[in-house]
Chains A and B, each alone.
Chain A
């Protein structure tokens, strides 16, 4: 029983990294009804870019790396928007989808060519801390990732519901034509959505790098898959759903691994997704109807 609880606890905390990626997927989908498959790769790209500060300022603190990753994520988000959404006709859904697939591969390949594929040591915000929780132990850094996910969610919800930009974003999400007729610059709102999710993505990438301890281009494809699963299970367009689904997928994944082994683990995660698609296709927090 203790093993089960420990595995679930480890997984739930690591699932916070999936939540961070899921939030990015879901926000873009909520606003534009488009999937940005390059999101996880751009997040990892942002995290890599954060390491550049160590080349400029040797011995720079981890917080500087995180801040650079945060900014680079925003820049990459904007680049993804311009190249995959702005210049492509949005009326052709496959065009932007395939463009983001191309961007995913491009970002991955740029990382590989820059680093020769070598894993890069990633700094942590603080030294390894294992916190006792009864008979269980939990990782302090993953608690921080979890905290950042929750803070990210709160910040995004405040932005969406307590700011003019949020009002414009929701207007564009619900009725882009009407929003445009009201004087809202739709392209600008969409671009801001990508920049904001990009900023969050850069931070998420840095958090993931710090929690794994090492960055490798190997991470981006599995993260994309997990991010998509989390987005679908959480409910496309639902930010709280993405967080909850990330923790759920992370926890169950580890439990599956404990009982069925690493080679069957992903099979059960896919079955979980399939079960949701059959029983609750709208996900945990399915939008009540229409665009949100």
Chain B
């Protein structure tokens, strides 16, 4: 009996030790800051990215957290900040984040925030004459091409629109050989939409042999698209490519329907391959084709979406980039052996920057992302709006 009691006591002590050591395994906390729009008209981006980051952190912590330089384990904590998609708020937020014990930041939402914000970072690492902010930023959403060139502290995990649209127009050539002409529609006052039409869609369409007949222009908060739809009708192009965000995309699509503009193919902006477009105009968006870097095409992509939904977020190309960023950062922090000590914060931040800079390829939810010059070239698929859902139309990786 005495032996049994001793064995039971030993078992209890051992269990207690295991529980305690489990806690001790993650007694340090590594803070990762997220920032994006949690208010204003693109609030959904911030909500979804925050949910994805929190979900990814939970999964990482459940799997044991991060291994630090001394072999101990640390858990990840995420603090998310609102930049309202305005440059001044974004700059203010990143300065606040740099003043905390966060080792790296994931964000921002908008290209018009990322561009000036990257401008306040130190341009070249180690340049003693440059007093710019020395803090690594890993963007999940801001998609305008080439932004990481601004500073060596800036990194991106967003798709390359140039690659995606080049591939899309080439693919359209094979699928719709009768389509010869393209007409554009562009949100003229939005940095991303404008850059995507003039520098990406238009040039890639021409490179694929399409005749570009022109473009109609409108502003981000316009409500009347009658003139633009008439221009489209008059152009009578085979392909209409809309470089606009969901609100005006929907407005234009509805006006096109009223005026009977029916192109053979309808192409949309990457950022519009989200729930917003379907919520605003599922019927009119039917059969619109958009290249995107996320679709729930495999188990891990579905798992990420399910986990994100637990934090009331939606999986899309933006939020799933934030999910991926968390796992990439875990990998980098472990490879670079960060200490996790508050006293070594500056050193750890530099290690993370250097680690991110070394990456040539990273695992993504739908495939391997190639990395060069701090920019990403993510795998992509073409999705098509079908009965209120985005369905995968074509997966180039399977060819």
Also in contact, A14 and B226, with CB within 8 A (given A119-B276, A214-B254):
yes
- Once bound together, how far apart are the Cα atoms of A60 and B258, in whole Å? 23
Q: How far is the CB of A86 from chain B (nearest CB, A)?
A: 28
Decide: A119 and B247 in contact? CB cutoff 8 A: yes
Question: Which of B42, B219, B247, B260 is A262 in contact with, Cβ under 8 Å?
Answer: B219
Residues from chain A with a CB closer than 8 A to the CB of B284 are: 213
Which residue of A128, A222, A250 contacts B258 across the interface (Cβ within 8 Å)?
A128
Pairwise interchain contact A219-B43, C-beta atoms closer than 8 A: no
**B220 contacts A112, CB within 8 Å?**
no
Question: How far is B231's CA from A132's CA once the two chains are assembled, in angstroms?
Answer: 18
Complex Cα gap A117–B41 (Å): 4
B217 and A261 contact, CB distance less than 8 A? yes
In the assembled complex, the CB of A288 is this many whole angstroms from the nearest CB of chain B, namely: 35
* B346 close to A (CB within 8 Å): no
Contact of B214 with A by CB under 8 A: no
Contact B223–A118 (Cβ < 8 Å)? no
* Cβ–Cβ < 8 Å partners of B230 in chain A: 6
Report the Cα distance A147→B302, complex, angstroms. Answer: 51
- Nearest Cβ in chain B — how far from A137, in angstroms? 8
The interface residues of chain A lying within 8 Å CB-to-CB of B300 are none
Q: Select which of B222, B250, B259 is within 8 A of A213 by beta carbon.
A: B250
Interface residues of A in 223-252 (CB under 8 A from B): 250
Q: Which of B188, B275, B281 contacts A121 (CB 8 A)?
A: B281
- B280 cross-chain contacts in A, Cβ below 8 A: 118-121, 214, 216
- How many residue-residue contacts, CB under 8 A, span A and B? 104
Most chain B CB inside 10 Å of its own CB: which residue of A6, A113, A213: A213
0/1 per residue, B24-52, Cβ < 8 Å to A? 00000000000001011111100100000
Scoring A residues 90 to 121 as 1 if CB is less than 8 Å from chain B, else 0, what string do you get?
00000000000000000001001100111111
User: Which A-chain residue is minimally distant from B42 (CB atoms)?
Assistant: A117
Asked whether any CB of chain B lies closer than 8 Å to the CB of A45, the reply is no
**A208 at interface (Cβ–Cβ under 8 A)?**
yes
Chain A CB within 10 A, most for which of B41, B189, B219: B41
Tell me the bound Cα distance from A254 to B231 in angstroms.
13
Q: Tell me the bound Cα distance from A250 to B42 in angstroms.
A: 28
In the complex, what residues of B have CB within 8 A of residue A211's CB?
Answer: 223
Q: Is the CB of B223 within 8 A of A222?
A: yes
Find the residue from B47, B217, B220, B250 having the highest chain A CB count within 10 A: B250
Cα(A113)–Cα(B46), bound, Å:
12
Taken together as a complex, chains A and B put the C-alpha atoms of A216 and B246 apart, in Å, by 10
Cβ of A257 within 8 Å of any chain B Cβ, yes or no, is: yes
Residues in chain B near residue A221, CB distance under 8 A: 221
Q: Mark B202-226, 1 if CB is under 8 A from A, else 0.
A: 0000000000000001111111101
Q: Is the CB of A218 within 8 A of B279?
A: no
Most chain-B Cβ atoms within 10 A of its Cβ — which of A112, A208, A214, A257?
A: A214
Chain A minimum-CB-distance residue to B249: A119
What distance in Å separates the Cβ of A183 from its nearest Cβ neighbour in chain B? 45
Check B217 against A212 for contact (C-beta < 8 Å): no
CB of B314, distance to nearest CB on chain A (Å): 9
B40/A112 in contact, CB under 8 A: yes
Contact residues in B for A6 (Cβ distance below 8 Å)? 230
Residues of B within 8 A of A258 (CB): 227
Question: Is B13's CB within 8 Å of the partner chain A?
Answer: no
- Of listed A6, A211, A212, residue having the most chain B CB within 10 A: A212
In the complex, the answer to whether B281 meets A214 with C-beta atoms within 8 Å is yes
- On whether the beta carbons of A262 and B250 are closer than 8 Å, the reply is no
Instruction: Report the minimal beta-carbon distance from B197 to chain A, rounded to whole angstroms.
Output: 13
Contact (Cβ within 8 A) A118 B224: no
Q: Which residues of B contact A14 (CB under 8 A)?
A: 223-224, 226
Query: Is A263 part of the contact surface with B, judged by Cβ < 8 Å?
Result: yes
Q: Evaluate contact between A121 and B279: CB separation under 8 angstroms.
A: yes
Give me 11 other A-B pairs in contact (C-beta within 8 A), A118-B279, A214-B251 excluded: A6-B230, A10-B226, A11-B226, A14-B224, A113-B39, A116-B44, A120-B279, A137-B259, A212-B254, A218-B220, A218-B247
The chain A residues found within 8 Å of chain B, CB to CB, are 6-7, 10-11, 14, 17, 109, 112-113, 116-121, 128, 130, 137, 139, 208, 211-214, 216-219, 221-222, 250, 254, 257-258, 261-263
5 sample A-B contacts, Cβ–Cβ < 8 Å, listed by A number: A117-B43, A119-B246, A121-B250, A139-B258, A218-B41
Residues on B lying within 8 angstroms of A by beta carbon are: 37, 39-44, 47, 188-189, 217-224, 226-227, 230, 246-247, 250-251, 254-255, 257-260, 275-276, 279-282, 284
Ranked 7 nearest A-B pairs via Cβ: A119-B280, A213-B254, A10-B226, A116-B44, A117-B43, A218-B221, A216-B247
